[in-house]
Amino acid sequence: MRFRVRVPAATRVTVTVAAVTLALGGCSQTPGERLEEWYGSGGEAQIRKLNEDAGRVNEVSMRTIDVQGPACWDLLAQTAKAEKLDPIPDEGAQRYWKEALGGFRRGAAECADGAAKNEEGQVSRGIRAVQTEGLPKLVSTVTLIKAGLAAAK
Which has the higher per-residue pLDDT, 111 or 26? 111
**Measuring CA to CA, which residue among 59, 81, 87, 85 is closest to residue 72?**
59
Q: What is the pTM of this model?
A: 0.80
pLDDT for res 57: 98
Low-confidence winner among 17-21, 39-43, 74-78, 125-129 (lowest mean pLDDT): 17-21
Sketch out the chain's domains with CATH numbers. Answer: 31-152 (1.20.120)
Q: Is 80 exceeded by the pLDDT of residue 45?
A: yes
Question: 53 exposed, middle or buried (CB, 10 Å; 0-12, 13-18, 19+)?
Answer: buried
pLDDT higher than threshold 80 for residue 10 = no
